Amino acid sequence: MPTFDSDRAAKLHRELHSHLPSDPALRVKTLESLAVERGLVAPESIDAWVEAYSEHIGPKRGARVVARSWLDPAFRERLLDNAAEAIKDFGFQGAATGHLKAIENTDDQHHVIVCTLCSCYPFAILGMSPAWYKSSEYRARTVREPRAVLKEFGAVIPENVAVRVWDSTAELRYIVIPQRPSGTEGWDEEQLASIVTRNSMIGTERDLNTEAL
């Protein structure tokens, strides 16, 4: 007579689920399959959009802008004066960056971006906005207690460093230019861009990590 081994069944259950995508991923895959099956979109189109946002339109675009500003003083000056015009050097202009403003972190000042009314975001150079950026908690608390919010992201801002919050709108969006880390002298643009993160360009990260390379 067969017996039921609960421990073995539980282990098998865990192993099976460890190989399955997350619930959101399954939902996305289901929607994708239905859209393709009904002829609403071609698989090639989906692949092209995924590649565009993950490899090109994502934060990598903004990272290139930041890296260029670290290497080229003339570009940095143009970027801080009129970011919407300066990023045309890369061909990154679009509806979400028509009135882009670049703001630069310094030794005594740190900047962080929020959109209190909705979730305006320069997706043309930073990719899709993270879920927390659109949350009501982030939008409300960042303007009231920015240091506490930044600390929750792991960015502890010294008391001698002023924190300034910039509120995005449909007409004006921002990108934070983080400080170039020490020890990166002699790095080329590609190397520098590889350490620039999305969060640092929103302002929820201050110190960039150079040890991961």
C-alpha to C-alpha distance for 166 and 173, rounded to whole angstroms: 9
Range of the domain at 37: 7-41
What is the structure's pLDDT at 25? 65
One domain for residues 17 and 83: no
Task: Check whether 193 has a pLDDT greater than 80.
Answer: yes
One domain for residues 137 and 73: yes
One domain for residues 82 and 176: yes
State mean pLDDT over 56-63. Answer: 83
One domain for residues 109 and 174: yes
Residue 148 within a domain: yes
Number of independent structural domains in the chain: 2
One domain for residues 62 and 158: yes
Say which residues have a Cβ less than 8 Å from residue 74's Cβ, sequence separation at least 6: none
Which residues are the active-site residues? 115, 118-120
Name the DSSP class of 197.
Answer: -
One domain for residues 22 and 68: no
Per-residue pLDDT tens over the stretch 111-121: 999 999 988 99
What is the structure's pLDDT at 16? 47
One domain for residues 13 and 106: no
One domain for residues 80 and 132: yes
Give the distance, in angstroms, between the CA of residue 16 and the centroid of all CA atoms in the same chain.
32
Provide the 10 A C-beta neighbour count for residue 197. Answer: 17
What is the structure's pLDDT at 53? 63
One domain for residues 154 and 78: yes
